[in-house]
Structure 1
Amino acid sequence: MDCLLLRLDAPLMSFGAVTVDQINPTWRFPARSMLVGLLGNALGWDHRDTGRLQALQARLRFAARWDAEPELLTEYQTVDLGQDFMMDTGWTTRGQREDRKGGTASTGTHPRRRDHWANGVATVAIALDGDGAPTLDALEAALRTPARPLFIGRKPCLPAAPLLIGRRQAAGVKAALEAEPLADIGPRRRPSPILALWPRGEGEGKTFEERYDLRDWTQNIHRGSERYAVGPLEVAR
């Protein structure tokens, strides 16, 4: 299997999870829909490209591990949308206006609790099942020269280095992750053991994790779950 290796290294990362009211938790490992959004952003797609995003999510296979142990950070945010400079409009990263459409969420003070992973380093192996567009070559080219600035889960979570490590042939994404040496993490703490998440069809784990990390891109909601294997990983030194 042809795989791409990505390294997620940032002061803050967020992998999304089931949101309840104004509480936004994060999964322990990256979510498939989050990776699809990241890759779609690199390709220059947006939320109107629902068919392409849905097709990519259906084909994407991934495994992930932590090379540096992250710390959970919960950020408490408030925003007063009634202030003069917050009224009526905002600006997108593409330099275009983003006008509000009214409703109860367009005024007043809004609190949020958002979980992030701080100071961690994660390595991710991705592959594509079946044929179609985009190809792995197209994803590799987009990660080398992204169409837009990339972020890891949320717009403030900017990577500290280019995401793409390289390419590797392996029996699967778990095997590709095992063959990729651990990142140089400096003074940060190395997990012991190295914990990883991978598709159930690529080997049994110590436990299983059912995650609601599939997105209905047309309806713009998360819908559907998938079970992954989770356990220690023997990594090449």
Structure 2
Amino acid sequence: MAELLLFQLYGPLASWGEPAVGEYRPSATHPGKSQIAGLLGAALGLTRDREEELAALAGGYGLAVRIDAEGELLRDYHTTQVPPARRGRTFTTRAEELAVDDLYTILSQRDYRVEAAWTCVLWATASAPYPLADLAEALRRPRFTLYLGRKSCPPALPLRPELIDSATLKDAFAGYPLDDRLGWLKRPERHRYFWEEPLPDGLASGFTAQEKLWVVPRRDRPGSRRRWQFATRDEHHAMA
């Protein structure tokens, strides 16, 4: 048995960034390591410049995700004005950015998931900076506003964090049903699951050989926030 923290994510819009080249900004079907680390950091009140602490959040916990509702894909043609990067100059608000004289425009196409929902599972590793109970309390009463990938995508329901003990990820997910308020969502006949290994002592995936699909590398482990650099980790996939 292992201690696990489960919580839900739902919003009218969500965007889980993938590696982007040029003007196209794709979204994954489910949140990854960097987005969950950012979510936890916001809940705990960590600002983006505290890279070491945010990296500790990413490295200190294992992650598994179940897609409860896939939603629909929405692509937005996006324009935004930004100031040029200057050494030694940091903008703390959007108003400060817009006050600069030499703004330039960035054009992009950005993908969003519409009316989708996910259940996430966390477990602590030996390097975890906080007990799971502290993370659960932070998710109940976050210090900063939480977002589902982008600032335009706040959650529409409380995250409903819950601590449980379980021998398998599959049993843990089964013991955390979809929120009653989301019963109207279009749900798949079989759920897709994603997790990383190694799993802690006392915890197995619980999925049969027939349910396991493949292992895919995903570049979502936070590196440098300033340079937008991410490292690769392996993500296990199953359908049940």
Please tell me the TM-score bracket, short chain as reference.
0.7 to 0.9
Unaligned runs of 5+ in 2: 84-89, 199-203
Paired letter, 2:167: A
Assess if the C-alpha contact under 8 Å between 2:166 and 2:172 holds in 1. yes
Aligned residues: 222
CA distance in 2: counterparts of 1:111 and 1:53, whole angstroms: 29
- With structure 1 as the length reference, what TM-score do the two structures score? 0.83
Task: Give the drift of 1:181.
Answer: 2.0
Does residue 199 of the first structure (1) align with residue 196 of the second (2)?
yes
Question: Which residue pairs with 1:214 in the alignment?
Answer: 221
What is the CA RMSD across the aligned residues, in angstroms?
2.7
Task: Give the drift of 1:213.
Answer: 0.5
Match 1:118 to one of 114, 118, 125: 114
User: What's the CA shift string for 1:47-75, capped at 9, x where partnerless?
Assistant: 22111111111112111111123111111
Question: Which residue pairs with 2:68 in the alignment?
Answer: 67
Task: Give the drift of 1:137.
Answer: 2.0
Distance 1:171 1:68, change over 3 A: same
The equivalences for 1:163-182 within 5 A come to 163-182=159-178
User: What's the CA shift string for 1:159-186, capped at 9, x where partnerless?
Assistant: 1111133111113545422332234333
Does residue 232 of the first structure (1) align with residue 239 of the second (2)?
yes
Distance 1:142 1:112, change over 3 A: same
- Stretch moving more, 127-136 or 52-61: 127-136
Aligned-residue identity in percent: 29
Assess if the C-alpha contact under 8 Å between 2:216 and 2:235 holds in 1. yes
Question: Which residue pairs with 2:126 in the alignment?
Answer: 130
Unaligned runs of 5+ in 1: 83-88
CA distance in 1: counterparts of 2:96 and 2:166, whole angstroms: 44
Distance 1:158 1:218, change over 3 A: closer
